[in-house]
Amino acid sequence: MISYSPHTTESTLLEPHSGASTIRFTCLSCHVAFPTADAQRAHMKTDWHRYNLKRKAADLPPITAETFAQKLQEQQLKSSQQQQQAMQPNECHICNKVYASTNAYKSHLASRKHRDMQVKVASTPVTESSQNDQPVEKNPEKIQRANWQERLIAATTQDEFEAIMKEKMEAVKPLEETDCLFCCHAADSFELNLEHMTKAHSFFIPDATYLVDVKGLIKYLADKIAIANVCIFCNGKGRAMHSTEAAQHHMISKDHCKMAYENGEDEEYADFYDFSPMYSDEETNSDEEWEDVAEAMTTTTISGRRRPTRAHISENEVELTLPSGISIGHRSFRTYWKQNLRHNEVVAGSRQDPEMIRLMSGQHNLLEHTTGNGLSSMSVAAHQQLQMHKIRQRESRLQHRREYEFRTKIGFIGNSQKHLVDPSRPT
């Protein structure tokens, strides 16, 4: 690009009644004339000519070459000043903060927080030696938080990571049972704290009927927030947080003031629940869910032991043993129960009854090798598996229902659209 200088070419201003009609080479945008065609072509390439073309398009009068050169110098001076300001760091030494842009730095200088800090620093007597020798003191909590973050990121082995977490657990102040999990509220008692979290944050405990250790569960959730700095609903998913305040702010802003209790995540809290009372409720309705198995396969003799007074569910969750010693199998395995197997005869190459049960267990992941008498004690973990299976079935039915309703809605919308009918088509 060729910049215009008033001394580049020789030109004369067009003045009325000055014999300008005899001049052949002119520029009507700049109101100047040239003695030769080469001078006119050189003028057409200058920034002055382009600037006057833009002014002419905006219905503005042209400017002279001297005025344009003065504007150009002012613009260059302004650009150099902006570059110098951009090179200077936007740092506030009073608040000990650095900003990426000048606008953000100016907004901080105009903020109330900066003015209050400025007044506080001005009112604090500081000796001249301390001003020259000692740097501005940083927030110790932020330094400690950054230190934990850097150490956890730099950990290369699992043992080193666990050692750092153990050290953090000893150094970080835990939440008490009267402290709210989601804000800085401190109640007078544990019951008032639960009431506050329920009313203020809509927090609830799922399956509270079968909860046996309320304080233990709340303490476990408090340690996850205060020590591990994780959201109790996200369970470590998403970006990492390195302070209790950050985790609490995340849970409030995202409406995550609730426990993750679906899709198998409830196994984390199994130690605080006891679902054994549900067995008595399910045994009353067992006739609808269980069927008699062939007598040759299910009758069990109990020798040397006293007969139980209550029915028991085996650990494999497939058989129910009555007080009389008869075993009842689940209807989902009726195909196997109806088989007429010869248990007293051993055929070459055939499998015994325990071996068949083991084979079926490997195929369906539901049957296991039972004991000789077919009895086993109730297991909380087994019931929790059954409970989770029912929850997944219910969620699957709800999901299918939502998909069906959505497809029906889309179908109605599609049928309501306007469409053209071929007039030549016979009706």
Higher pLDDT: 13 or 369? It is: 13
Total residues belonging to the chain: 427
Cα 247 to chain centroid distance, Å, stands at 12
Q: Are 147 and 159 in contact (CB under 8 A)?
A: no
Residues 289 and 312 grouped into a single domain: yes
Residue 305 has pLDDT above 90, yes or no: no
- Laid out side by side, the sheet with 319-321 consists of 290-292, 327-330, 319-321, 312-313
Residues 198 and 255 grouped into a single domain: yes
Q: Give the range of the structural domain holding residue 319, as residue numbers without chain letter.
A: 277-341+353-383
In angstroms, rounded to a whole number, what is the distance separating the alpha carbons of residues 206 and 225?
Answer: 19
Residues 253 and 284 grouped into a single domain: no
Residues 329-345, mean pLDDT to the nearest whole number: 65
Residues 286 and 307 grouped into a single domain: yes
Residues 247 and 208 grouped into a single domain: yes
Give the pLDDT confidence of 29-72 residue by residue, as tens digits.
Answer: 898 998 899 999 999 999 999 999 999 999 999 999 999 999 99
- Residue 313 has a pLDDT of 76
Please give the structure tokens belonging to residue 29.
């945008």
Q: What is the count of structural domains for the chain?
A: 4
Give the pLDDT confidence of 386-401 residue by residue, as tens digits.
Answer: 888 888 888 888 888 8
Whether residue 47 lies inside any domain: the answer is yes
In angstroms, rounded to a whole number, what is the distance separating the alpha carbons of residues 134 and 93?
Answer: 13
Residues 378 and 287 grouped into a single domain: yes
Whether residue 128 lies inside any domain: the answer is no
Neighbours of 12 (CB within 10 A): 13
In angstroms, rounded to a whole number, what is the distance separating the alpha carbons of residues 17 and 60?
Answer: 23
Please give the structure tokens belonging to residue 252.
């409030």
In angstroms, rounded to a whole number, what is the distance separating the alpha carbons of residues 114 and 94?
Answer: 8
Q: Are 231 and 247 in contact (CB under 8 A)?
A: yes
- Residue 69 has a pLDDT of 92
**H helical segments located in 110-182:** 112-123, 128-133, 140-154, 158-171
Residues 253 and 286 grouped into a single domain: no
Residues 185 and 201 grouped into a single domain: yes
Q: What are the CA-CA distances from residue 185 to residues 88, 101, 177, 360 (Å)?
A: 44, 37, 12, 56
Whether residue 37 lies inside any domain: the answer is yes
Q: Provide the CB-side half-sphere exposure for 236 (13 A, CA).
A: 4
Whether residue 423 lies inside any domain: the answer is no
Q: How far apart are the first and last CA of the chain?
A: 74
Give the pLDDT confidence of 9-27 residue by residue, as tens digits.
Answer: 455 665 544 444 556 788 9
Reported as a pLDDT band with limits 50, 70 and 90, residue 243 is confident
In angstroms, rounded to a whole number, what is the distance separating the alpha carbons of residues 52 and 28?
Answer: 10
The residue from 226, 254, 272 where one domain ends is: 272
Residues 308 and 376 grouped into a single domain: yes
Q: Are 26 and 49 in contact (CB under 8 A)?
A: no
Residues 203 and 258 grouped into a single domain: yes
Neighbours of 192 (CB within 10 A): 13
- Residue 368 has a pLDDT of 40
Whether residue 282 lies inside any domain: the answer is yes
Whether residue 256 lies inside any domain: the answer is yes
Residues 29 and 74 grouped into a single domain: yes
Q: Which residue is associated with the tokens 């057409």? A: 44
The residue from 227, 247, 272 where one domain ends is: 272
In angstroms, rounded to a whole number, what is the distance separating the alpha carbons of residues 375 and 383?
Answer: 16
- Nearest of 305, 224, 333 to residue 268 by alpha carbon: 224
Residues 195 and 253 grouped into a single domain: yes
Q: What are the CA-CA distances from residue 216 to residues 199, 221, 355 (Å)?
A: 21, 9, 44
Q: Provide the CB-side half-sphere exposure for 337 (13 A, CA).
A: 19
Whether residue 146 lies inside any domain: the answer is no
Whether residue 371 lies inside any domain: the answer is yes
